[in-house]
Chains A and B, each alone.
Chain A
Amino acid sequence: MRTSHKGFAEGLLFALNIFIVVLLCAGDSLAIPQWLQPVGRLHPLILHFPIVILLLAMVMEFFRFRPEFANEKLYQRFTTYLLVLGALLSSLTVIMGLFLSREPGYEGGILQWHKWFGVSVAFVGYGIYLWRNTSVYTAIIAKTGAIVIVICLIFAGHFGADLTHGEDFILAPILQKENRKVPIEQALVYRDVIAPIFETKCQSCHNADKMKGGLMLTTANAILKGGKTGKLFIAGQPGISLLLQRVHLPEDEKKHMPPVGKPQLTDQDKMLLYLWIKNNPDFKKKVIELPATDSLRMLAATRLKPAESTEEVYDFSAADDKDIKKLNNNYRVIYALASASPALAVNIYNKSTYSVKVLDELEPIKKQIVILDLNKMPVKDGDLKTISRFENLRQLNLNFSDINGSGLKDLASLKHLKTLSLAGTKLNPNLIGQIIAIKSLTELAIWDTGLKPGEIQQLQAAHKKIRLLSGYKDDGKPLKLTNPQLKNTSQIFQQSFQLQLSNPIKGVDMRYTTDGSVPDSIKSAAYKPGILFTQNTVLRARAFKAGWLGSDTVQFNFYKNTYTPDSISFLAPADGKYTADGAKTIIDKELGGTNFGNMKWLGSQKDMVMLMLFKKPIALHSLTLNTIRNIGSQIFLPAEIEVWGGADEHHLKLLTSLKTATPQKKDPVAAINLECKIKTTGNISCIKLAIKPLQKVPDWHPAKGKPAWVFTDELFLN
């Protein structure tokens, strides 16, 4: 650095320090012209330079008088340059800072501290620079000066950071704010509901130190006072509230609050502010002083809720993981309620492996069990003694177990038991008093235990604190029974069949008829297992039971089939779309149901011809073909069925043929048996069956003129 440069720097340093003094003296009366404001705003940028440079300069100044450095020219000169640069930059920074502090929004204690520490840095730095080459400047003074500057730098920096980032910015992550757990009875509307909104979303800019827009939202008085633009609200008139206007402005609007990029108010926050202002803002009112149906109270209650419903804290320590692991098996499942919770839940499964030993073995974790589920286990009253050792038990499920209540007295020692389920047990009503005496109990399930509704009502009246679960009561309207179900594997029989009906509802009376009439509960025959039928039967059945409506009538058709051919083949096959299982479909003893497209029906628009061979000659009297009629789907009855018979396929003669009546438009959809009677012709070993569809669909049908379809699913030979 040339002397002229040094002189210039010194002159500038002097001028800047004088300027600082002027600015400080002018104080509040100083007005910063608008064009200078950007200079002020550069303060947070420039300040980093003097911090680093001055810090380094002070370290060097600290050791300046050490013998090894005292005569080191480079060291001395470098220290000087650093110091002059640092002093210059710090003075500049202070001036900028003073400009910035004149802008609205910066006020309060922290700003003052920051200002004076910053100014001290500049002045002390300049002082050292002026003084450091005089004879009175000793090593001790050098060291003291260096330390003072460093301290001032640290404090100025710290308070400055508080201004820009908010207080406790650095330590916030580790300073765990205590969760305020205010029970709703004690909560104040302002302190516990409204103020937290301001605190989290507004106060970083509207506090005593940084009053943006002249607004402070930390105290009741300041809130009532409002800001530069005016009062925040007029009590009871949310519609004209400045506060609500600002938070409801679109986010891209400049005046929208909080500014873009800062945490925004939620809809619920806005609603709470609205309701608070509407209710005439009060800073002392308790939440529960509001009417129970008040929207503000209801919203506030949900806000305060999390504090209320915190997880239960258990006062016992966790069990040894090894014990838990050892005791856990396929039929005794032990698991922690939550990841850091010491509490355990135990579920016992499988009746056949249960014994009291299953419970006795839980000794090592007896303190930690809070939930025990023994639903449907054969628990005896004596076993309850073991259970009474689980001192922290909250919930015990003994539904459908084998207890009768004599052991329940043992449970009286469980001081924490809240829920007890005894449904479906053979509970002795006289013993119920013993359990109901457990003070902590809040819920007791006793339905299906033989206790009469009256007794339960009395109990409930005497123990209002306990919720008694007394079970479902139907509304007395009778329900319709389920239909009888057929259990016979096939509806086709050779000689005779035993009717097998069933109904899933216990104790029903099933009645049937075979004459096509609707069964009733008095005159019709009652179903018993083992009834034999030997003929084709149309069976209609219904179920009845006292207290229920009778079921629908169901119909089952049984078909006798004496002879089954040993082989069957097509001479003229079925249509490719409806081949089902080939020709043997019609002798497979399985009916095709109601849907012709389910691949259990043979269908064709041409003649279907089948050849059946019998190893043992038969005496055929009748041939019955099960067919379907569905005029809408162009399915008609066969126009003609021809039955040929003989000793073998080369010696066949026409045994009989059947022609059906001309179809009518109104013929309903139905499965129809077509029986061809055959006059005795002696024994035959071969049958040829030809099924001929209607050649032309009648004129009244949309498909008039085209050949009709025929469908068949089964053949009965008798």
Chain B
Amino acid sequence: MEKDFLESRLNINRRRFLSRLSLGIGSVALGSLLIPDLFSGAGAESEADFIPGIPNFAPKAKRVIYLFQDGAPSQLESFDYKPKLREMMGQELPASVRGNQILTGMTAKQASFPLVGSFYDFKQYGESGAYVSDLFPHIGKIADDICIIRSMNTDAINHDPALTFFQTGAQQGNRPSMGSWVSYGLGSENKNLPAFTVLLSKGKGNGQGVYSKLWSNGFLDSIHQGVQFSSGENPILYLNDPDGLNRHERRKMLDNLAALNDINYKAFGDPEINAKVQQYEMAYRMQTAVPEIMDVSKESDDIVKMYGPDCLIPGTYAANCLLARKLSENGVRFVQLYHQGWDQHSNLPQEMAGQAKDVDQASAALVTDLKQRGLLDETLVIWGGEFGRTNYSQGKLEKANYGRDHHPRCFSIWMAGGGIKPGLVYGESDEFGYNIVKDPVHVHDFHATILNQLGIDHKKLTFKSLGRRYRLTDVAGNVIKGIIA
């Protein structure tokens, strides 16, 4: 593929050809034959350091499953235990704690900011003694397998930019998604399935939208785009042959089409033509691979009990978790789940209970299931939303009813497997759960760390577009060494 790109550029881009020539191709070639690293500039970041499809160093994780909790679940009712907030229930948030934090339009005009403690109790779990709220008993049980990060922070305060930031490393939605970067960086493991797949589910809580730009390939080649598996009769749209067309005829049609496309490729040298032919071929192979993946009827009762019986109802979060395991097991590099309904501006205690019930058992089951298959070592599981929620109530604070607004400064996520330290609680927030006091992890750091686990140096995974090289981490990001096993 890369070679094709180069060839086509040489064919059509005279300026590039001449500029390359002026360097003296001959001497460069000879020099690099004698000493291969002569021009690679050790330590410097150069394009030559990165070969798409092969990790920079031996990876800890081969695959990622990202359980995105869309809408931003409250850290204060899940993984960040703040007894102080209960003590100070109803009291005003001290101005010194809030500092210069900008608020959303939803609470900026609120006359008071009454602190509110978690409606739900917390318990300590496992040898790690991590605090997990009573809403997530199953995740509590796997506390020793996961690493809870309580010091995440982001730049954005509203759903769409924050979600886009988490998914693409930028708040404007024109960059490739993380899954696309991984597909570009590592290639696909199983050529019969897309390297990047997307699964959606929806809870009953107040929801926010997810859009296909979140799994867009941006400026990368279109084969790196996320492919959405839906829950209906046809999990992948337009994959099945039309009625009356048998597989043999389909094959003949594809062969002839490929021959025609090849004529055009020879004439124009556009690599997108070849990409398209490859996509047709992959779709052809997917026609047999996908039904096998989607078939959950062969899963044993133990598995069903583990994920919860909902896992057999297509379109539920539990079903998507089971499917995510099957896809990942079959070599899909990046499985992206979204579960909507976590935007609890009001009615939080009730809504969050419903949301937690949707995801708790299946999330924990996924980790346990990967572990028993010996896959957890090489699969990185991530659970979290796009930001956190405020420690004060949005709207009227009642004894058993309150809401929380968006809070980008400090929130919690967890990761498991893929060479991340199990049984660790990383980072710390102040006793108000408002500011980070120890080991902050920014979204860029989060991206750098994920790529690192996949064997990719985030500074080397670049793609040149519109005259400059882009990275998932843009110009920032540090690998969080403290959470790496």
| Chain A interface (Cβ < 8 Å from any Cβ of B) | 302, 311-312, 330-331, 333, 335-339, 341, 347, 349-350, 352, 375, 397, 399, 419, 421, 423, 443, 445, 447-448, 469-472, 474, 479-482, 504-506, 548
Contact = CB atoms under 8 A, between A and B. Distances in A.
B190 A333 contact: yes
B51 A445 contact: no
A338 B189 CA distance: 14
A336 B54 contact: yes
Contacts of A448: 300, 302
Nearest to B482: A302
A562 B212 CA distance: 46
Given A397-B374, A445-B373, A479-B308, A375 B329 contact: yes
A375 B330 CA distance: 9
A46 B424 CA distance: 58
Interface of B: 51, 53-59, 187, 189-192, 285, 288-289, 296-297, 300-306, 308-310, 312-313, 329-331, 365, 368-369, 371-374, 455, 481-482
Contact of A338 (B55, B313, B369): B55
Given A474-B305, A481-B309, A482-B310, A443 B55 contact: no
B312 A312 contact: no
A330 B278 CA distance: 12
Nearest to B303: A472
B55 A482 contact: no
A341 B455 CA distance: 12
A110 to B, nearest CB: 28
Given A347-B189, A479-B305, A504-B296, 10 more contacts: A338-B54, A349-B192, A397-B374, A448-B300, A472-B369, A474-B306, A479-B309, A504-B309, A505-B304, A505-B312
Given A339-B51, A443-B374, A506-B301, A349 B190 contact: yes
Nearest to A504: B312
Nearest to A419: B374
Contacts of A330: 191-192, 285
A689 B455 CA distance: 71
A497 to B, nearest CB: 22
Contacts of A504: 296-297, 309, 312-313
A480 B305 CA distance: 10
A445 B372 contact: yes
Contact of A339 (B55, B285, B288, B300): B55
B374 A347 contact: no
Contacts of B302: 448, 471-472, 474
A421 to B, nearest CB: 5
Contact of A311 (B57, B189, B305): B57
Given A375-B329, A474-B306, A481-B309, A447 B372 contact: yes
A34 B466 CA distance: 58
Residue from the set B305, B330, B482 with the largest chain A CB neighbour count within 10 Å: B305
Contacts of A352: 288
Contacts of B53: 335
A350 B309 contact: no
A335 B186 CA distance: 10
A372 to B, nearest CB: 13
Contacts of B368: 472
A302 B303 CA distance: 37
A339 B373 contact: no
B309 A338 contact: no
A335 B455 CA distance: 14
Given A333-B331, A472-B368, A479-B305, A338 B192 contact: no
B258 to A, nearest CB: 15
Given A302-B481, A505-B312, A339 B57 contact: yes
A78 B288 CA distance: 90
Contacts of B51: 339
A331 B447 CA distance: 31
26 contacts: A330-B191, A331-B191, A333-B189, A335-B53, A337-B55, A337-B59, A338-B56, A339-B54, A349-B190, A349-B330, A350-B192, A350-B289, A352-B288, A399-B373, A423-B372, A445-B372, A448-B302, A469-B374, A471-B302, A471-B372, A472-B368, A479-B308, A481-B309, A482-B309, A504-B313, A506-B301
A338 B57 contact: yes
Contacts of B187: 335
Contacts of A445: 372-374
Contacts of B482: 302
B182 to A, nearest CB: 14
A448 B54 CA distance: 35
A715 B147 CA distance: 58
Contacts of A311: 57-58
A480 B192 contact: no
A416 to B, nearest CB: 16
A300 B278 CA distance: 51
B401 to A, nearest CB: 20
